[in-house]
């Protein structure tokens, strides 16, 4: 899933992201049972979750949680899945584009919460 690369592959519990789903992708998603944005958000959280130990920085990759946090964790805690995004509500979904193939994209947000950005949207009438 391309969304895994938002901010950094090891950056989990990440803030906001805008997922732009193309119409042809929407047809496929709907056919496969993802009839609502809530269903899609839940699936994104499920497939992008990683065990906590996998989102810790190491000698090859500096991004992620500090390795020092692992020292006090048992194996079960190290295997606990950590979702990519802080919550399903942080995945903002719109349908846009034309029939030109199954193309979708995402736009990673910036810092969320106090001092960060607040996603806003409005309907644009033609």
pTM comes to 0.85
State which residues form the domain around 66: 2-108
* 68 falls within a domain: yes
* 114 falls within a domain: no
CA 5 remoteness from chain centre: 8
Partnered with residue 56 across adjacent β-strands are 65
Q: What is the pLDDT of residues 51-73, one digit of tens each?
A: 999 888 888 777 778 888 888 88
* 6 falls within a domain: yes
* 59 falls within a domain: yes
* 118 falls within a domain: no
Structure token digits, residue 87: 């919550």
Q: What is the pLDDT of residues 95-104, one digit of tens each?
A: 999 888 888 9
How far apart, in whole angstroms, are the C-alpha atoms of residue 92 and residue 86? 12
Q: For the chain, how many structural domains are there in total?
A: 1
């Amino acid at each position: 899933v391309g969304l895994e690369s938002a901010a950094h592959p090891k950056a989990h519990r990440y803030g906001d992201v805008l997922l732009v789903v193309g119409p042809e992708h929407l047809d496929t998603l709907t056919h496969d049972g993802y009839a609502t944005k809530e269903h899609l958000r839940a699936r994104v959280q499920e497939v992008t979750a990683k065990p906590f130990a996998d989102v810790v920085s190491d000698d090859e990759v500096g991004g992620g949680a500090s390795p020092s946090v692992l020292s006090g964790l048992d194996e079960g805690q190290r295997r606990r899945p950590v979702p990519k995004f802080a919550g399903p509500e942080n995945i903002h979904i719109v349908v846009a584009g034309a029939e030109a193939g199954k193309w979708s994209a995402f736009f990673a947000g910036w810092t969320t919460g106090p001092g960060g950005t607040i996603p806003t949207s409005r309907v644009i009438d033609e």
